[in-house]
Amino acid sequence: MKTASSSSSSSHGFPATASLCTPYLLLVPLGLLAVVLVVPSLGSSHVRSDGLGVLCRAGPSAADGYLVTPGGDAASAAAETKAVVRPELRLLVGVLTTPKRYERRNIVRLAYALQPAVPPGVAQVDVRFVFCCVADPVDAQLVALEAARHGDILVLNCTENMNDGKTHEYLSSVPRMFASSPYDYVMKTDDDTYLRVAALVDELRHKPRDDVYLGYGFAVGDDPMQFMHGMGYVVSWDVATWVSTNEDILRYNDTHGPEDLLVGKWLNIGRRGKNRYSLRPRMYDLNWDMDNFRPDTVLVHMLKDNRRWAAAFRYFNVTAGLQPSNLYHFP
């Protein structure tokens, strides 16, 4: 499987991505630079919106982007049919991260790229790395390279933060950004989480498409699922849309604090996300000794260093299919 532009054919999607994204090669860096350099002098809204438009455009044709589809020949076949055959469900996965985490992002990108295939008729899964405005000009240029190369960058209109409204900005921007081709589900996850996309899709397939709030349920008092842990949770499109239009959340300044708990609070007050599912124990934190991996994992969290990522890749046999070669040998 792979993540690549819809029509890509190589296992890394290089040729197709390059041709599909040719305009981006010019536009994205300009867009980013516009955001970064011009905003202070011109005032934010117009320029930022141009920048966002360029960076985040993912309209109907943007089956280009970052798909989780089968690898090899199946991938190109799947990609070609994808434009016509609507999959059972479409899922946007937002990996919230920060510009300077280049090394981690590289690992996470590979983690998504090297996963077992999701059958093409079943799901379209687009993975995006989610930032607030990239303020540093060096980072802006380097992140623009990633946008041009991988097409998996999404920049929100906010100042980088974790518990000061970034999640709210994400959930409320996505329904606008993708208004022309809505997803069924929106996921928020982090760059210390290994998500097994096929396993999640299997869970979502038979769930309702509306009023869903799914994740690692956190019990408070009598409520077994008062909110979903920030390691990774999914809301249906209607719920994200509701968040985006709910002015009370901002009026009551209810975006400052632990983001996962707050999402639960908004939904509880608004009586949304009533179709609630906890995927415990298939979602979990990796423990200190790294010995609690499970074969039916949907998501494992707390991969906070390379050693822990390596353990996950080893456990899930991610490189098992690596062809023998006289160019390398791994024990």
Ligand X SMILES: *[C@@H]1O[C@H](CO)[C@@H](O)[C@H](O)[C@H]1NC(C)=O
Among 40, 60, 295, 331, binds ligand X (CB under 6 A): 295
Select 49 or 181, whichever has its Cβ closest to ligand X: 49
Select 169 or 184, whichever has its Cβ closest to ligand X: 169
Select 27 or 52, whichever has its Cβ closest to ligand X: 52
Question: Whole-number minimum distance, CB 149 to ligand X, in Å?
Answer: 25
Q: Output the CA–CA distances (angstroms, integers) from residue 80 to 6, 63, 182, 248, 302, in the order listed.
A: 7, 10, 20, 43, 37
Round to whole Å and give the CA distance between 213 and 301.
19
Decide: is 253 part of the binding site for ligand X (CB under 6 A).
yes
Decide: is 49 part of the binding site for ligand X (CB under 6 A).
yes
Round to whole Å and give the CA distance between 22 and 316.
35
Among candidate residues 184, 234, 187, 179, the one with its CA nearest the CA of residue 209: 184
Round to whole Å and give the CA distance between 215 and 20.
34
Question: Whole-number minimum distance, CB 173 to ligand X, in Å?
Answer: 8
Decide: is 319 part of the binding site for ligand X (CB under 6 A).
no
Strands 223-228 and 299-301: unpaired
> 235-260 burial, b if ≥16 CB within 10 A, otherwise e?
bbbbbbbbbbebeebeeeebbeeebb
Decide: is 317 part of the binding site for ligand X (CB under 6 A).
yes
Residue 93 near residue 32 (C-beta atoms within 8 A):
no
Among 10, 157, 161, 268, binds ligand X (CB under 6 A): 157
Question: Whole-number minimum distance, CB 156 to ligand X, in Å?
Answer: 9
Decide: is 161 part of the binding site for ligand X (CB under 6 A).
no
Decide: is 45 part of the binding site for ligand X (CB under 6 A).
yes
Among 54, 68, 316, 318, binds ligand X (CB under 6 A): 316
Give the CA radius of gyration of the chain: 19
Q: Which residues of this chain interact with ligand X, rule CB under 6 A? A: 44-45, 48-49, 157, 253, 256, 295, 315-317
